[in-house]
């Protein structure tokens, strides 16, 4: 019964990830669109592809759930894990870049905005999902 919420959650996050991923890849290939940079969507084929993969995981889950198979649930869960995990990686990277700028004395020129990207801020939504459903996902581990 809470499936409705999960479908909605997966759909929204999936579409966001996939769209940002697509934009990043397009941006990387066809050059800069100023408006995208303002939205913190830099051109990058690699992270763009990662976004696409995460988006696809969510959307696969949504598709399966909406035709009524419980099979879709793991995709939403794993998508959330994936989103949070990669987000954590990006957060660490951001901190590292900041620390490095400070160490080499370019702190004044450095702005976190340069390093922010969808993998980082979309993960915030992922964290919400983890808080909401993390328990029931991991519980599977014990109650075998």
Which three-class secondary structure state does DSSP give residue 69? coil
Closest CB 46 distance from other proteins, rounded Å: 5
Residue (59 or 125) nearer to other proteins, CB: 59
How many alpha carbons fall within 13 Å on the CB side of residue 105?
Answer: 0
Binding residues for other proteins, total number by CB under 8 A = 39
Choose the binding region for other proteins from 8-16, 29-37, 75-83, 126-134 (rule: CB under 8 A).
75-83
The rounded distance, in Å, linking the Cα atoms of 117 and 79 is 18
Contact 41, 24 (CB under 8 A): yes
Q: Scan residues 16-55 and list those touching other proteins (CB under 8 A).
A: 44-47, 49-50, 53-54
Report how far Cα 77 is from the mean position of its chain's Cα atoms. Answer: 13
- Confirm or reject binding of residue 106 to other proteins (CB under 8 A): no
Helical spans, DSSP H, in the chain:
3-30, 34-38, 45-66, 73-103, 112-115, 118-142
Q: Pick from 18, 20, 41, 57 the residue near other proteins by CB under 8 A.
A: 57
Contacts with other proteins by CB under 8 A lie at: 44-47, 49-50, 53-54, 56-57, 60, 71, 73-75, 77-79, 82, 85-86, 89-90, 92-93, 96-97, 99-100, 103-104, 137-144
């Amino acid at each position: 019964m809470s499936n409705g919420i999960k479908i909605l959650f997966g759909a929204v996050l999936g579409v966001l990830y996939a769209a940002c991923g697509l934009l990043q890849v397009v941006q990387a290939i066809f050059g800069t669109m100023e408006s995208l940079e303002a939205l913190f969507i830099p051109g990058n084929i690699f992270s763009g592809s990662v976004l696409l993969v995460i988006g696809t995981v969510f959307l696969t889950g949504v598709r399966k759930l909406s035709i009524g198979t419980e099979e879709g649930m793991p995709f939403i869960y794993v998508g959330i894990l994936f989103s949070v995990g990669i987000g954590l990686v990006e957060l660490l990277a951001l901190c590292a870049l900041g620390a490095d700028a400070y160490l080499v004395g370019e702190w004044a020129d450095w702005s976190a905005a340069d390093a922010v990207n969808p993998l980082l801020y979309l993960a915030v939504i992922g964290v919400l999902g983890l808080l909401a459903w993390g328990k029931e996902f991991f519980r599977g581990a014990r109650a075998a």
